[in-house]
Copies of this chain bind each other. A is one copy, B any other.
Amino acid sequence: MNLKQLSNMLALSQTTVSRALNGYPEVSEETRRRVADAAKRHGYRPNPSARRLATGKAGMIGYVMPTGASVDIDPHFVEFLSGLGDYARGHELDLVLSPTAADDEETTYRRIVANKQVDAVYVSSPRPADRRIALLNQLGLPFIVHGRSEGLGFDYPHLDIDNEAGFHDAARLLLQLGHTRVALINGDTSQTFAIFRERGVRRALAASGLALPPARIRSAAMTEEEGFRAAMSLLRGNEPPTAILCSSLMMALGIVRAIRDLGLAVPADVSLVAHDDVFPWLKPENFSVPLTTTRSSIRAAGQRVAERLATRLSGQETEPLGEIWPVDLVVRASIAAAKT
């Protein structure tokens, strides 16, 4: 059933039927009703390809997904996707994933813009002065950034969590417990989120007159293995930390293993705080010693990004709104006062 057939059936022109269906004002209410009725009864659905060709709008949102032998998409992505789906599901909004070589994202962005495959995209894991954001801004493709970028020189729509405050508060708590040798096992510090976390910790320490020397920072992929390795090297050094903050639960798993391997205990010897993105399959309260965390649901962020993307498509959101969510500090058994 296409427009032509439907309009013949109703003895109306395609124009009128199209307008009636798309809510244009120059159609009488009665006609609109008749049309809507018939459309529903015959299960008419406009052909998206035709509509796209005519309007240039795709009705889909996109994500340029870096892949490659050396690139591991991490499990955060799937949680974000769940959230996106939560919203999109109810709105017949589809997501186009365009895989790309990690070192050549620009080409892919240009391609999807040229092809008009999607009406908007979301960008994740931004870096300082992120080139993708600058590119999108220049190409005029609507987008929302999950995370933040600094030093771009213009505003852009984004949704981020307050990583700095979260890690600041967590660090301050450790200081209040008397810890002075606090270490940070961070994610990839070329990404903004990691920079903000470090900044938060640093600020808290500074407020107590303490520094965060390079010897107490590690930066690595957020895996169990890297967590283990980083913790090992920290704890085997001289003046080992009595408290560790880390950027992911997977890392925390490795850190706990390292601590245990060294014959130490949480929290007696080492206090541990991790950031929790809220995974259904690994929960901080279920660690052998329940983990204190800074928590923010990445799935909820996905929902919100989808929602904002949708309002952006409909032309309702047009400001480069920056939205920052607070991070919960959830205290559990993995921290204790420093030994005196």
Contacts and interface: CB of A to CB of B under 8 A. Distances in A.
Interface string A94-118: 1111111100000000010011110
A101 B89 contact: yes
A52 interface: yes
Contact of A85 (B99, B261, B281): B99
A78 B67 contact: no
B69 A116 contact: no
A85 B281 CA distance: 24
Interface stretch (A126-134, A162-170, A221-229, A268-276): A221-229
Interface residues of A, number: 63
Nearest to A228: B286
A72 to B, nearest CB: 4
Contacts of A286: 224-225, 228, 254, 257
Contacts of A281: 72, 74-75, 221-225, 250
A285 to B, nearest CB: 9
Contact of A78 (B53, B78, B221): B78
A262 interface: no
A224 B283 contact: yes
A74 B85 contact: no
Nearest to A288: B257
Nearest to A56: B49
A121 interface: no
A68 interface: yes
Given A86-B67, A115-B48, A94 B94 contact: no
A85 B73 contact: yes
Contacts of A97: 81, 85, 94-97
A206 interface: no
Nearest to A224: B282
Interface in A223-277: 223-225, 228, 250, 253-254, 257, 260-261
Interface of A: 45, 47-50, 52-53, 56, 58, 60, 65, 67-69, 71-75, 77-79, 81-82, 84-86, 88-89, 92-101, 111, 114-117, 221-225, 228, 250, 253-254, 257, 260-261, 279-283, 286, 288
9 contacts: A48-B115, A60-B96, A67-B89, A73-B81, A77-B78, A77-B81, A94-B97, A94-B99, A224-B286
6 closest A-B pairs by CB: A67-B85, A85-B99, A223-B281, A75-B75, A89-B99, A72-B280
